[in-house]
Structure 1
Amino acid sequence: MFKRILSGLLLAAAVHGLTITKPASADSKLHEADVKWQTVVNNGDLMPTAACQADAANCRTFNSYNQPSLNAKKRVVFRARSKGGKGGEPVHGVYTKDMSQAGPIVRVLDRDTEVPQPNNLSAVFIEPPSFPRIDSVTDMIATRGNHKPVWEYTLADGSDTKVGTTGIYTNPFGPLITGASKLGAVNEFAFFEVPEFPGTPFDVFPGSPAVTQGSTIVFKGNYTVNQIGKTGVYYRDLKNQSLMGAAGGGEKAAVLIANNTHTLIPGTQTVFGSTAPPSAAKRQAVFAGFDNEENPSLGGIYLAQLKPYPISKQPMLKTLVSIGSQVPEEPKDTRFNRLGEGVSFDGRYVAFWGAWGDENKIVRLYCPKEGNKDRSAYCMSAASGSSQDAVGWYQDKSVPINQGLFLHDINTGETVRIARTVTDFSDFVYWNFSGRSPGAGEGEEGDEDGEFARWRSASFLAVSSQIKRSKDDTPYQVAFKARTGALDTNNTYQNPVDGIYLKNRSEKSPFATLIQTGMDGTAFDPKAVFVDEDTGVSVVLPVTEMGLERDGFRNGRLAINASMGTEEAGWAGIYLGEFR
C-alpha cells in the first residue's frame, strides 16, 4: 500500500513537473523571496477538543484548513477540520494562536461548543461556514456559525416555535457572544432585527463578517420583505453588557450602511442591486456594490465612516473606484467593466480585482468528487446546470482575458496597478462549487450561506501598509494568488503553476515568489516528508495547493494555508512569514 502511494507520488511529480526542484518562473522578472516561515499549526497537532482533554484516546489531529486571518500583533485565527475518528464525525471548528509568544492553539468554537445566549435550547454549533476574521489592532475575532434553533417561544396564537439557526459570533470582551442573529422577530431581541424594517429578522449573513476597533462588527445580511429577497451591509457596535444572565453585546441595534431597497448608487438615481461582504479597519468599512451582480453597468467600491453610537444614521458613501472609471496603466478610455467583491482594506489602502474589455476565454470547471457528498452529487447532475463529458460533470465559464489586481490609496485618491494578465500571469480568478445543496436543512453542514450551491469565482489578495523599516512615504505591500498556464482544446488548464506572489511598492523587482506549486514543501514545514514504512525511503513532498485571504497580511506579516503531496500521502498546515 505505502509503496503504491510512494510510486504514485513520484510518478505524479515526474508527469506534472511537481518535483522538489523549483519550477520555471511564471515571468523572468520574478525572483524567489528569502522568507523564514513559522508553523502555526499542521497535521501533527492535536485539536484542543473537550473529548481530548477528558481522554487521550479521543484525541484527533488537524487535517485541513481554510485561509487564516491575523492581526498586527501576530495572533492568527483559522477554521480547520479533522478526519472522522472511530465512531464519530470529524471535528470542525475555529481556533486561534498567538505567534508572538508561540502560544498554544486555543479553541474558539467547535461542534461541542454551546451557542452563546440567547439560547434556551442548549443548542451547539454544527458548522462555521466561512473563514473567520480578526481586528487589525486587537484580538477581537468574528465568525459565522450554523446550528440548530437556539430559541423557543410562544406566538400570539398560542403555538410554540423554534428559531435562530445562524448568527455572527465574536469575543470583544473575552467570552464568545452573539453579535448578530436570526432572532429579530422575537420581541425581546428586537435589537437583532433589520434596522430599516422593524420586526424583520435577518435570514442569513453571507460571506465573512469583518471587525474593527475592538468592538464593532461589519457584515452583509440577507432578509425577506413581502416574500421578496433583500440584502444590505450593516455595522453594529457591541457593548459589554449582560444578556440572559451571560456575557453579551448589549441591546444596540445594527446600523444600515447600504441596501438594495432604497440606497442609491452614488452619483446615480439607481438603487444597489447587490452588495458584497465588507472589509473594515480604523472604524471605516469598504464594500463592493452594483446594479446587477452578474452583468454590472453601475456600481463600484465604496467607503463608509462608521460613526460611534449614539449616532445611528446611515453613513454617507464615498466612491473609491467605479464601473466605467479609467484602468491605470492602460490606454486612455480603457474602462473597468468588472470589479471584484473580495476587497482587502487596511485603513488606508484598498486592494481589489478588476477587468476590462470585451475579450473573454472559456474555462471548463469539473465538479468536485470530494467534500460534502450532497453538494458534489448536486453539482454532478443536470439540475445544477452541469453537462457531462468523458472526464466528468462540468460547467463552462466565461472569464475576462484582460484582468488585473489594483490598489487604491484613500488618502491621495490614486489607483495603481499591481499585476495583470497577458504580460504578468494567466489568471487571477479561482472557482469553487459551494452553497447549500437542495434538501439540506437550515444550519446544516451543507448550508454555507443560505443560497443554493453554484460555481462562484473569487480572487485572492491582501494588502499591508504598516512596514516599520520602510523609508517610503507611502509604503505598501500586496500579496496575491495567481496562475500561470495554458488552456488546452477542452478549455482546461494543463499543468498550471499556482502561486502566491508579493509586490513591494519600493522595490524595483515587480514580483517576489513566496510559494508555488511544485516547490519543496520542507521550505515551509520540515515535516512535509513522506516515509515509506517498508523501505524507509523518504520523499520531500511538493507543494500542491495554497491559499490566502483579505485579512491575512498585517504589519508586513503574511499567514497562508498550504498543502503538500497527495490526499493519501500528504501534509498540510498554516504558516506565517515576515517580509519587513
Structure 2
Amino acid sequence: MRTPAALPHGRAATSHLLRCALPLALLVPCLAWGASPIDATWRTVANNGSLIPSATCAPYVAIPSPSCRVFNSFNQPSVNTSGLVVFRARSKGGGGLGEPQQGVYTRDMGGRNEPIVRIIDRDTAVPQPSNRNTDFQETPAFPRIDANWPTIVTRGIHPPVWQVTNDAGEVVEQVGTNGVYANPFGDLVTGESRLGSVAAFPFFHVPGEPGTAFDIVPGAPAITNHDIIVFKGNYTVGTVSKTGVYYRQLMNAPFPMAGGPSLSPGSGTQPVVLIASSDSYIPGTSIHFGSTAPPSAAEGKVVFLGLDNEEQPTVGGIYLAPIGAPQPALRALVKIGDQVPGERPSAHFTQLGEGLSFDGRMVAFWGAWGAETQPLTLQCPQDGNANLIAYCHQLYPGGHTVQIPVHQGMFVHDVARGRTWAIAKSPNIFSTFLYWNFSGKAPGDSSEEDGELARWRSASFIAVSRLGNRGLAAKGLFHVAFKASTGTLENGAYVNAVDGIYLSSGPVFSLLRAAVITGMPGTVLDPQAVDPATGEALPITTLGIERDGFRGDQLVINASMANEEAGWAGIYLTRMRF
C-alpha cells in the first residue's frame, strides 16, 4: 500500500530504474530498460540530518535529546515563485525522547545557505484571541504558501484558547480548539477560529448564521493576494451538518475588545464571506451542494470541487468564483457528465478529484470515466499515530477492498480559453494516479477534535505552473508535475509497481518526462542518502508532491530512501529549465 501521507523512510525498495524523456509511445519501454536522466540539479531543503529549530534547541546541544532533535519524516511541501519552501515535518518519539517534535517550518532556497525557520510547533503559543496561554497541539494538513508572496497558511489544532465568564467572573465555557493561521504581516495571526459563538468575535461566525462557529476547517486552507485566506468550513445548524467554501481578508489590525485593551497581533474585523455552501444550488440545477472540497486560490480567484454526493456524484463539478461580493456567481469549468478530452463521444467524467492546483488561469485535476473497475485491497499503515493504526486494524483486520477506476487521468483546464487538455491517462501508460490513506480521528483522540472519524480516503497529486516563461505564459503555455504509478493490479495488489513524479508541458504535448521514480539511487536527490554500513546509495522508495509544489520554475518534492537496514528522507527542490 502506497500512501500520500508523511514519508518516513520505508524498507521495501523497487528495482532500479532511470528517469527518461521520451514521446508518450516510447515511455513504457523507457521505464523497462532505462534512459538518460533529465537535466535537473536537486538541492536539499531539509533531511534526516537537519536539526529541528525549536524554542530550546541550540546548535551546540548534543542530539538527540528531548529538546533538540533531527527530522525523521516529512509531508508534501509547498513553494512560491521565489523559492521559499514551507513544509510539515516531525522527529522520532519514544525511546526516552517523549512525544515527537512536529510542526510547520520554512526555508528560503532563493538565498545562500539560509536556515530552516520554525513557524509552528508544540511549543508555539496560539496567537490572539487567546486568554488561556494555549500552545498548538497539531498541524494536521500540509501547509500552503501564496504563489507570489512569502505568506504561509496552515490549519492548527489545540486545546481551547478562550475562557468565557459570566458577570460574576465564573467560567461558563472554554472554546476555540482549531483554526486557520497565517503570517501576512510578519507575526503569526489567527485568520479564522472556532470562536464564532463568542460575542466578542462575530467576524469569525458562519455567514448567515450569527452566533454559530465553524466546527472545523478540514483539509488545507489556501492563501491568495498576500492576505486573503480561502477555506472549507463544516458547521452544524440544529442537528443538521453543513459545509461550504469561504474567504476572509486579513487586516494588520488588533482585535478590539469592549471594556478592555485590544488583542495584538490580530487580523482585523473583516467578516468571513460565503462563496458557496450546502444551502447553495449547484449551478443549472435545483439541487444543493451535498459536499464541497478544500479550495485553491490565486490572483483573486477561487476554484473548488462541489458535488451533490461525494461518494457517487451525479451532478456538480469544478467551479470558479471571483473574490469580491458574497456568494458570487459560480462558473462551471468541468462538470460531472462532461466529455473526456480525446475519448469517444460516449466517455463522460464520472468522478473528479478534490486536489485542484490553480495558478489563476490553469486548473489541474484528476478525473475518471466509465464503469470498469479493478479491486485493490488496502492494508493498514505501519508508521504514524498509534491510535489511528490500532483503529484501522480494529475496523479492517484483513484489509479493506476498494474499486479502482480503470479509466482515469490527469487534466488541465484553461479558464481563459474554456478548454480542457488530457495530460496522461490509464491504462495506456500508467496503472493509476490515485493513492489511498487512512486518516481522520481515532475514537478518543483529542488531537483532531470534532473532526470526522478516520476512514480510507483517496487522493491524487498534480501541480501546474505557467510562470516559467512569462512571455509564453501569457499565450497559455503551462507546465505540470504529477504523481503516477506503473505496474499491474492483480489479485488486489499492484505487481512491479513503480511510483514517479512526471513532467509535461502544454497545450502542445510532445514529451512526457520522469523527473524521479522509485528504485532510482537516492543520491540523485541527496548525497547523504547512503547506507552507512556499505556506503552504497539507498534506493528511492516513496515520493510526494502537492498542488502548490510547482510555482514558476521552482519544483519541490519529498522523498524517502531505504533498504532493509537503513533509511533516509527529505525535502528536495530543483529549478526547472524550460
Q: TM-score, normalised by structure 2?
A: 0.91
Per the alignment, do residues 186 and 12 of structure 1 end up closer, same or farther by CA in structure 2, a change over 3 Å counting? closer
Answer yes or no: is the 8 Å Cα contact 1:465–1:477 preserved in 2.
yes
TM-aligned CA deviation for residue 53 of structure 1: 3.0
Answer yes or no: is the 8 Å Cα contact 1:125–1:147 preserved in 2.
yes
Answer yes or no: is the 8 Å Cα contact 1:206–1:277 preserved in 2.
yes
**Residue equivalent to 2:215:** 203
TM-aligned CA deviation for residue 370 of structure 1: 2.1
Per the alignment, do residues 257 and 508 of structure 1 end up closer, same or farther by CA in structure 2, a change over 3 Å counting? closer
**Residue equivalent to 1:76:** 85
SS at match of 1:377: helix
- Quote the Cα distance in structure 1 between the aligned partners of 2:97 and 2:190: 32
- Quote the Cα distance in structure 2 between the aligned partners of 1:22 and 1:225: 53
1:272-309 deviation line (CA, Å, top 9, x unaligned): 000000000000000000000000000000000001xx
- Quote the Cα distance in structure 2 between the aligned partners of 1:271 and 1:10: 44
One-letter amino acid of the counterpart of residue 100, structure 1: G
- Quote the Cα distance in structure 1 between the aligned partners of 2:338 and 2:10: 49
Answer yes or no: is the 8 Å Cα contact 2:77–2:557 preserved in 1.
yes
Answer yes or no: is the 8 Å Cα contact 1:46–1:59 preserved in 2.
yes
Q: Which range is displaced more, 368-377 or 199-208? A: 368-377
**Residue equivalent to 2:464:** 463
**Residue equivalent to 2:486:** 484
Matches within 5 A, 1:79-478: 79-84=88-93, 86-102=96-112, 103-154=114-165, 160-243=172-255, 244-260=262-278, 262-307=279-324, 312-381=325-394, 384=395, 386=396, 388=397, 393-441=398-446, 444=447, 447=448, 450-468=451-469, 471=472, 473-478=475-480
1:456-506 deviation line (CA, Å, top 9, x unaligned): 0000000000122775732111100001111222x1112310001001227
**Residue equivalent to 1:64:** 73
- Quote the Cα distance in structure 1 between the aligned partners of 2:78 and 2:464: 12
- Quote the Cα distance in structure 2 between the aligned partners of 1:11 and 1:274: 38
For structure 1, the residue ranges without an aligned partner over 5 or more in a row are: 1-8
- Quote the Cα distance in structure 2 between the aligned partners of 1:78 and 1:313: 32
- Quote the Cα distance in structure 1 between the aligned partners of 2:344 and 2:272: 44
One-letter amino acid of the counterpart of residue 440, structure 2: G
SS at match of 1:46: coil
- Quote the Cα distance in structure 2 between the aligned partners of 1:226 and 1:563: 46
- Quote the Cα distance in structure 1 between the aligned partners of 2:12 and 2:335: 45
- Quote the Cα distance in structure 1 between the aligned partners of 2:232 and 2:329: 17
- Quote the Cα distance in structure 2 between the aligned partners of 1:10 and 1:110: 25
Per the alignment, do residues 479 and 11 of structure 1 end up closer, same or farther by CA in structure 2, a change over 3 Å counting? closer
SS at match of 1:495: strand
SS at match of 1:202: coil
- Quote the Cα distance in structure 2 between the aligned partners of 1:10 and 1:193: 43
- Quote the Cα distance in structure 1 between the aligned partners of 2:201 and 2:79: 32
CA RMSD of aligned residues (A): 2.2
Identity %: 52
**Residue equivalent to 1:5:** none
1:319-342 deviation line (CA, Å, top 9, x unaligned): 000001110000113211111111
Per the alignment, do residues 23 and 141 of structure 1 end up closer, same or farther by CA in structure 2, a change over 3 Å counting? closer
TM-aligned CA deviation for residue 104 of structure 1: 1.0
Answer yes or no: is the 8 Å Cα contact 1:68–1:132 preserved in 2.
yes
Per the alignment, do residues 348 and 90 of structure 1 end up closer, same or farther by CA in structure 2, a change over 3 Å counting? same
Per the alignment, do residues 328 and 62 of structure 1 end up closer, same or farther by CA in structure 2, a change over 3 Å counting? same
TM-aligned CA deviation for residue 556 of structure 1: 2.0
Runs of 4+ in 1 over 3 A off after TM superposition: 9-13, 19-26, 28-32, 155-159, 469-472, 506-509
SS at match of 2:289: coil
- Quote the Cα distance in structure 1 between the aligned partners of 2:463 and 2:130: 36
1:518 aligned to 2:522?
Answer: no
SS at match of 2:531: strand
Per the alignment, do residues 403 and 247 of structure 1 end up closer, same or farther by CA in structure 2, a change over 3 Å counting? same
**Residue equivalent to 1:559:** 556
- Quote the Cα distance in structure 2 between the aligned partners of 1:560 and 1:239: 32
Answer yes or no: is the 8 Å Cα contact 1:170–1:176 preserved in 2.
yes
TM-aligned CA deviation for residue 438 of structure 1: 1.1
SS at match of 1:204: coil
- Quote the Cα distance in structure 2 between the aligned partners of 1:409 and 1:161: 49
1:503-529 deviation line (CA, Å, top 9, x unaligned): 122776431011111001101100001
Answer yes or no: is the 8 Å Cα contact 2:20–2:30 preserved in 1.
no
TM-aligned CA deviation for residue 23 of structure 1: 10
Equivalent residues, number: 547
One-letter amino acid of the counterpart of residue 216, structure 1: I
Matches within 5 A, 1:499-578: 499-505=500-506, 509-532=510-533, 537-566=534-563, 569-578=566-575
Answer yes or no: is the 8 Å Cα contact 1:477–1:556 preserved in 2.
no
Q: TM-score, normalised by structure 1?
A: 0.90
- Quote the Cα distance in structure 1 between the aligned partners of 2:172 and 2:493: 53
- Quote the Cα distance in structure 1 between the aligned partners of 2:220 and 2:401: 27
Answer yes or no: is the 8 Å Cα contact 1:266–1:319 preserved in 2.
yes
1:522-551 deviation line (CA, Å, top 9, x unaligned): 01100001121xxxx311100000100001
For structure 2, the residue ranges without an aligned partner over 5 or more in a row are: 1-8, 256-261
Answer yes or no: is the 8 Å Cα contact 1:26–1:484 preserved in 2.
no
Per the alignment, do residues 320 and 46 of structure 1 end up closer, same or farther by CA in structure 2, a change over 3 Å counting? same
- Quote the Cα distance in structure 1 between the aligned partners of 2:574 and 2:313: 37
- Quote the Cα distance in structure 1 between the aligned partners of 2:109 and 2:97: 34
Per the alignment, do residues 471 and 239 of structure 1 end up closer, same or farther by CA in structure 2, a change over 3 Å counting? closer
Per the alignment, do residues 568 and 60 of structure 1 end up closer, same or farther by CA in structure 2, a change over 3 Å counting? farther
SS at match of 1:571: strand
TM-aligned CA deviation for residue 368 of structure 1: 1.2
- Quote the Cα distance in structure 2 between the aligned partners of 1:178 and 1:257: 20
**Residue equivalent to 2:3:** none
SS at match of 2:495: strand
Structure number with greater CO (CA < 8 Å, separation at least 6) is 2
- Quote the Cα distance in structure 2 between the aligned partners of 1:136 and 1:10: 32
SS at match of 1:208: coil
Q: Which range is displaced more, 57-66 or 543-552? A: 57-66
